[in-house]
Amino acid sequence: MQTQVYEGLFIFDSNRFARDQEALPGEVAEMITSEGGEVLVSRLWEERRLAYPINGQRKGTYWLTYFRSPTSAISVLNRKCEIHDGVLRQLVIKIHPSLVEPILAHAAGVPQEVEEEAEETADEPVAASAE
């Protein structure tokens, strides 16, 4: 079973999210893991006014999730989100393998300077041993 890393952007019903801020993200994580996936990074992106009403809602809470999942599970995840009352919309895209680590580091909140320092210190012993 082949797995890929995906980015999922979920728009939650803001009223339900405000009542319990752990319930909807937990339910999405459960949908992912129930199909054999693994949540890598999951965080709030923002709450904003929607461009047009969705199911009578004018505001939405945007939740960003990066996860590893079998490719066959994505259609099942999309279907589960479509019938879930708290998820207004979802978008799941596959991340190119060469972009996975930088995107996950950024999403997890690792500052760019820390990443660059880590790369520089990793390069120094190689340069010193070459002399």
On whether both 129 and 85 belong to a single domain, the answer is no
On whether both 33 and 47 belong to a single domain, the answer is yes
Question: What burial class does residue 24 get, using C-beta atoms within 10 Å of its C-beta: 0-12 exposed, 13-18 middle, 19+ buried?
Answer: buried
On whether both 65 and 23 belong to a single domain, the answer is yes
Domain assignment of residue 123, given as a range: 98-131
Order the strands of the 87-94 sheet from edge to edge. 38-54, 57-70, 3-13, 87-94
Mean residue pLDDT of the chain comes to: 85
Which residue in the block uniquely carries the two structure tokens 């949908």? 31
Question: 60-116 pLDDT, tens per residue?
Answer: 999 999 999 999 999 999 999 999 999 999 999 999 988 888 888 888 876 655 445
The one-character DSSP state at 11 is E
Question: 55-73 pLDDT, tens per residue?
Answer: 999 999 999 999 999 999 9
Question: 41-52 pLDDT, tens per residue?
Answer: 999 999 999 999
On whether both 29 and 73 belong to a single domain, the answer is yes
> Do the Cβ atoms of 111 and 28 come closer than 8 Å?
no
User: What distances in angstroms separate CA 29 from CA 21, 34, 74, 77, 84, one per listed residue?
Assistant: 13, 8, 13, 10, 13
